[in-house]
Structure 1
Amino acid sequence: MKKIITSLFLFSILLTNAQDKKEEIKPQIVEAACGQCQFEMKGYGCDLAVRIDGKTYFVDGTTIDSHGDAHADDGFCAKIRKAEVVGEIVANRFKVTSFKLVPKNKKNGLQ
Protein backbone atom coordinates (compact mmCIF):
# COMPACT_ATOMS: atom_id res chain seq x y z
CA MET A 1 0.00 0.00 0.00
CA LYS A 2 2.84 2.35 0.87
CA LYS A 3 4.44 1.73 -2.56
CA ILE A 4 1.17 2.56 -4.32
CA ILE A 5 0.78 5.82 -2.42
CA THR A 6 4.42 6.75 -3.11
CA SER A 7 3.99 5.92 -6.81
CA LEU A 8 0.83 8.01 -7.04
CA PHE A 9 2.55 10.90 -5.29
CA LEU A 10 5.52 10.78 -7.69
CA PHE A 11 3.21 10.50 -10.69
CA SER A 12 1.26 13.58 -9.56
CA ILE A 13 4.49 15.57 -9.20
CA LEU A 14 5.63 14.55 -12.70
CA LEU A 15 2.23 15.42 -14.16
CA THR A 16 2.17 18.85 -12.49
CA ASN A 17 5.74 19.54 -13.61
CA ALA A 18 4.93 18.61 -17.21
CA GLN A 19 1.91 20.95 -17.21
CA ASP A 20 4.03 23.80 -15.84
CA LYS A 21 6.50 23.38 -18.72
CA LYS A 22 3.74 23.78 -21.32
CA GLU A 23 3.95 27.40 -22.34
CA GLU A 24 0.56 28.91 -23.02
CA ILE A 25 0.52 30.81 -26.29
CA LYS A 26 -1.55 33.96 -25.85
CA PRO A 27 -3.46 35.77 -28.59
CA GLN A 28 -1.78 38.78 -30.14
CA ILE A 29 -2.97 41.55 -32.45
CA VAL A 30 -1.07 41.63 -35.75
CA GLU A 31 -1.36 43.23 -39.15
CA ALA A 32 -2.78 40.87 -41.78
CA ALA A 33 -2.97 41.29 -45.55
CA CYS A 34 -2.02 39.78 -48.86
CA GLY A 35 1.70 39.12 -48.68
CA GLN A 36 2.28 39.99 -52.32
CA CYS A 37 -0.15 42.94 -52.74
CA GLN A 38 0.36 44.76 -49.43
CA PHE A 39 3.59 43.51 -47.85
CA GLU A 40 5.56 43.22 -51.15
CA MET A 41 6.63 39.64 -50.39
CA LYS A 42 7.79 37.37 -53.18
CA GLY A 43 5.34 34.66 -54.13
CA TYR A 44 2.84 33.49 -56.71
CA GLY A 45 -0.73 34.73 -56.65
CA CYS A 46 -2.25 36.14 -53.48
CA ASP A 47 -1.46 34.56 -50.12
CA LEU A 48 -2.35 35.57 -46.57
CA ALA A 49 0.50 36.99 -44.52
CA VAL A 50 0.96 38.66 -41.14
CA ARG A 51 3.38 41.28 -39.91
CA ILE A 52 4.73 40.66 -36.40
CA ASP A 53 7.28 43.00 -34.86
CA GLY A 54 8.04 44.48 -38.29
CA LYS A 55 8.67 41.12 -39.98
CA THR A 56 6.30 39.48 -42.45
CA TYR A 57 5.39 35.80 -42.60
CA PHE A 58 3.15 33.79 -44.86
CA VAL A 59 0.39 32.04 -42.90
CA ASP A 60 -0.30 28.30 -42.66
CA GLY A 61 -3.54 27.06 -41.10
CA THR A 62 -5.99 29.43 -42.81
CA THR A 63 -6.25 30.98 -46.26
CA ILE A 64 -6.73 34.44 -47.68
CA ASP A 65 -10.20 33.49 -48.99
CA SER A 66 -11.39 32.12 -45.63
CA HIS A 67 -11.97 35.69 -44.43
CA GLY A 68 -13.99 37.25 -47.24
CA ASP A 69 -13.23 38.39 -50.77
CA ALA A 70 -9.54 39.28 -50.85
CA HIS A 71 -10.13 41.63 -53.79
CA ALA A 72 -13.06 43.55 -52.26
CA ASP A 73 -12.57 47.19 -51.21
CA ASP A 74 -11.81 46.06 -47.66
CA GLY A 75 -10.17 42.74 -48.62
CA PHE A 76 -6.62 41.68 -47.83
CA CYS A 77 -5.33 42.63 -51.29
CA ALA A 78 -6.65 46.19 -50.90
CA LYS A 79 -6.05 46.90 -47.20
CA ILE A 80 -3.94 45.88 -44.27
CA ARG A 81 -6.29 44.68 -41.54
CA LYS A 82 -5.83 43.87 -37.85
CA ALA A 83 -6.30 40.31 -36.66
CA GLU A 84 -6.16 38.51 -33.32
CA VAL A 85 -4.05 35.41 -33.83
CA VAL A 86 -2.67 32.48 -31.92
CA GLY A 87 0.20 30.54 -33.38
CA GLU A 88 3.94 30.31 -33.70
CA ILE A 89 6.67 31.02 -36.19
CA VAL A 90 8.09 27.80 -37.63
CA ALA A 91 10.57 27.70 -40.52
CA ASN A 92 9.95 31.39 -41.30
CA ARG A 93 6.15 30.85 -41.64
CA PHE A 94 3.39 31.65 -39.15
CA LYS A 95 1.56 28.45 -38.14
CA VAL A 96 -1.81 29.76 -36.97
CA THR A 97 -4.17 27.89 -34.66
CA SER A 98 -6.64 30.78 -34.33
CA PHE A 99 -7.25 33.74 -36.66
CA LYS A 100 -9.99 36.35 -36.06
CA LEU A 101 -10.28 39.67 -37.85
CA VAL A 102 -10.62 42.61 -35.49
CA PRO A 103 -13.98 44.30 -36.19
CA LYS A 104 -13.87 47.67 -37.90
CA ASN A 105 -14.48 50.73 -35.76
CA LYS A 106 -18.12 51.64 -36.44
CA LYS A 107 -17.45 55.33 -35.88
CA ASN A 108 -14.94 55.83 -38.68
CA GLY A 109 -14.86 52.52 -40.55
CA LEU A 110 -11.18 51.99 -39.71
CA GLN A 111 -9.57 49.35 -37.60
Structure 2
Amino acid sequence: MKKIIFVLVLGVFVVAANAQTAPKKAESAKVITKQTVDIACGECQFKMKGKDCELAVKIDGKSYFVDGKGIDDFGDAHGEHGFCNAVSKAEVTGEIVNNRFKAKEIKLLAVKK
Protein backbone atom coordinates (compact mmCIF):
# COMPACT_ATOMS: atom_id res chain seq x y z
CA MET A 1 0.00 0.00 0.00
CA LYS A 2 2.84 2.39 0.83
CA LYS A 3 4.42 1.71 -2.57
CA ILE A 4 1.20 2.61 -4.36
CA ILE A 5 0.86 5.90 -2.46
CA PHE A 6 4.55 6.68 -3.11
CA VAL A 7 4.14 6.06 -6.85
CA LEU A 8 1.01 8.24 -6.99
CA VAL A 9 2.66 11.11 -5.11
CA LEU A 10 5.76 10.83 -7.28
CA GLY A 11 3.57 10.92 -10.39
CA VAL A 12 1.85 14.10 -9.20
CA PHE A 13 5.24 15.78 -8.67
CA VAL A 14 6.47 14.75 -12.12
CA VAL A 15 3.33 16.08 -13.81
CA ALA A 16 3.52 19.36 -11.86
CA ALA A 17 7.20 19.82 -12.72
CA ASN A 18 6.56 19.25 -16.43
CA ALA A 19 3.64 21.68 -16.45
CA GLN A 20 5.83 24.44 -15.01
CA THR A 21 8.79 23.91 -17.33
CA ALA A 22 6.93 23.15 -20.56
CA PRO A 23 7.56 25.87 -23.15
CA LYS A 24 4.57 27.95 -24.21
CA LYS A 25 3.27 27.18 -27.65
CA ALA A 26 3.63 30.04 -30.12
CA GLU A 27 0.40 31.67 -31.12
CA SER A 28 -0.81 30.56 -34.48
CA ALA A 29 -0.43 33.21 -37.15
CA LYS A 30 -3.44 35.04 -38.53
CA VAL A 31 -2.91 35.69 -42.23
CA ILE A 32 -3.98 39.08 -43.57
CA THR A 33 -4.28 39.48 -47.34
CA LYS A 34 -4.84 42.86 -49.03
CA GLN A 35 -6.87 44.25 -46.14
CA THR A 36 -7.47 48.00 -45.85
CA VAL A 37 -6.34 49.22 -42.42
CA ASP A 38 -5.44 52.37 -40.51
CA ILE A 39 -1.68 52.98 -40.34
CA ALA A 40 0.20 55.48 -38.19
CA CYS A 41 2.61 55.85 -35.30
CA GLY A 42 1.54 53.43 -32.59
CA GLU A 43 2.57 55.71 -29.73
CA CYS A 44 1.44 59.08 -31.17
CA GLN A 45 -1.84 58.10 -32.85
CA PHE A 46 -2.96 54.73 -31.44
CA LYS A 47 -1.80 55.42 -27.83
CA MET A 48 0.19 52.17 -27.68
CA LYS A 49 2.96 51.74 -25.12
CA GLY A 50 6.39 51.61 -26.68
CA LYS A 51 9.94 52.91 -26.49
CA ASP A 52 9.88 55.31 -29.43
CA CYS A 53 7.82 56.32 -32.44
CA GLU A 54 7.07 53.02 -34.21
CA LEU A 55 4.89 52.09 -37.17
CA ALA A 56 1.62 50.38 -36.31
CA VAL A 57 -1.53 49.20 -38.04
CA LYS A 58 -5.05 48.84 -36.72
CA ILE A 59 -6.66 45.60 -37.91
CA ASP A 60 -10.26 44.80 -36.98
CA GLY A 61 -10.14 47.43 -34.22
CA LYS A 62 -6.89 46.22 -32.61
CA SER A 63 -3.50 47.91 -32.95
CA TYR A 64 -0.30 46.02 -33.75
CA PHE A 65 3.28 47.23 -34.09
CA VAL A 66 4.75 46.42 -37.52
CA ASP A 67 7.81 44.29 -38.25
CA GLY A 68 9.38 44.46 -41.70
CA LYS A 69 8.73 48.15 -42.42
CA GLY A 70 9.87 51.24 -40.54
CA ILE A 71 7.98 54.39 -39.66
CA ASP A 72 10.17 56.54 -41.95
CA ASP A 73 10.00 54.13 -44.91
CA PHE A 74 7.05 56.15 -46.25
CA GLY A 75 8.43 59.65 -45.66
CA ASP A 76 9.17 61.82 -42.63
CA ALA A 77 7.05 60.49 -39.76
CA HIS A 78 7.16 63.91 -38.09
CA GLY A 79 6.23 65.84 -41.22
CA GLU A 80 2.85 67.59 -41.53
CA HIS A 81 1.11 64.48 -42.88
CA GLY A 82 3.55 61.95 -41.39
CA PHE A 83 2.48 58.96 -39.32
CA CYS A 84 3.11 60.76 -36.01
CA ASN A 85 0.70 63.55 -37.00
CA ALA A 86 -1.97 61.74 -39.01
CA VAL A 87 -3.63 58.36 -39.46
CA SER A 88 -3.55 57.09 -43.04
CA LYS A 89 -5.08 54.15 -44.87
CA ALA A 90 -3.07 51.29 -46.34
CA GLU A 91 -3.64 47.95 -47.99
CA VAL A 92 -1.58 45.35 -46.12
CA THR A 93 -0.57 41.74 -46.53
CA GLY A 94 1.22 39.78 -43.83
CA GLU A 95 0.63 37.85 -40.62
CA ILE A 96 -0.22 38.64 -37.03
CA VAL A 97 2.22 36.63 -34.90
CA ASN A 98 2.69 37.04 -31.15
CA ASN A 99 0.72 40.31 -31.15
CA ARG A 100 2.81 41.93 -33.91
CA PHE A 101 2.07 42.43 -37.60
CA LYS A 102 4.75 40.82 -39.80
CA ALA A 103 4.42 42.88 -42.99
CA LYS A 104 4.98 41.32 -46.38
CA GLU A 105 3.49 44.27 -48.27
CA ILE A 106 2.19 47.70 -47.30
CA LYS A 107 0.66 49.94 -49.96
CA LEU A 108 -0.43 53.41 -48.86
CA LEU A 109 -3.80 54.41 -50.28
CA ALA A 110 -4.48 57.86 -51.72
CA VAL A 111 -6.48 60.22 -49.55
CA LYS A 112 -9.93 60.78 -51.03
CA LYS A 113 -10.81 64.48 -51.28
| TM-score normalised by length of structure 2 | 0.70
Contact 2:32/2:96 (CA < 8 Å) preserved in 1? Answer: no
Question: Equivalent residue for 2:99?
Answer: 92
Q: Please state if 1:33 is matched with 2:40.
A: yes
Q: Pick closer, same or farther for the CA change 1:88–1:102 going to 2, 3 Å.
A: same
1:37-90 deviation digits (Å, cap 9, x = unpaired): 000000011000000011000000100000001011110000000001000100
Q: Which structure has the higher relative contact order (CA within 8 Å, separation 6+)?
A: 2
The counterpart of 1:62, out of the listed 53, 65, 69, is 69
Task: Please tell me the root mean square deviation across aligned C-alpha atoms, in Å.
Answer: 1.3
Which stretches of structure 1, 4 residues or more, deviate above 4 A after TM superposition?
none
2:90 is aligned with what amino acid?
A
Query: Quick one: which amino acid aligns to residue 57 of structure 1?
Result: Y
Q: Hey, what's the Cα distance between the residues in 2 that align with 1:42 and 1:85? A: 22
Q: Does 1:101 align with 2:108?
A: yes
The residue number in structure 1 matching 2:56 is 49
Q: 1:82 maps to what in 2?
A: 89
Structure 2's unaligned 5+ residue stretches are: 1-30
Counting only pairs closer than 5 Å after superposition, residues 17-32 of structure 1 correspond to structure 2 as 26-32=33-39
